[in-house]
Structure 1
Amino acid sequence: MSYDLWKLGTYAGYAESGWFWTELREGEKGLVHPEKDCTHSDCPQSGTDHRHQPTMEQREEMQSYITRYLTSKFESEEAEKGRRADISELRRMTELELDDHLPRTALGSTLKD
């Protein structure tokens, strides 16, 4: 698994659990959960008990992590299936080629049989 796919999967896991990215200050983002108190020291409301609620845009951003991860995972699995099918076909062809080189008996079967 590539690092990018692993990272995307990590973010998808956060998203699935309800976490979302929010801007704490200009250029600084942090993961927060709507049911947990914010503990980021960079948050302008730091020092007070508060929670962040996701906007529709933030929900869509987090959903996109899940969608992209599942799409990438599916494509990766399909590619792996294709590679395995190719390997199986090569093995089958190699076995046929090897069988062609074995001496045949009078009845036409190979000595391998």
Structure 2
Amino acid sequence: MMSKPMVLVFLLLILIITSQFDWKQQLVNDMDSSPSISQKQQQISKREEVVKEKIILSQEKNIQRLKELVQNLREQLVQCRGSNNITDGISNSPTTRVIELQRKQILED
């Protein structure tokens, strides 16, 4: 008499083999029945690719715009900090603060 794990493995193999035959038959039937459907699917996939490319380009433009906005905000922040430091009696110039901020940004990236 076979042990339970052996029976399970045997049943699993039978299931896998029979399911593969079913899949192959379905694929062959689908391919034979409609070559025009495959052409339509190719056209649809090409359109989807074009749409995806447009979306990606749009996102890249948005990312670039956001990077520029972040850079402008950082420069404004440095200028504000510089003006605050000058009014507080600290002699750091805004250009040295910009350089420090850029160094920090490079290290973070």
TM-score by length of 1: 0.46
Larger radius of gyration: 2
Structure (1 or 2) with the greater strand fraction: 1
Structure (1 or 2) with the greater helix fraction: 2
Which structure carries more relative contact order (alpha carbon 8 Å, separation 6+)? 1
TM-score by length of 2: 0.48
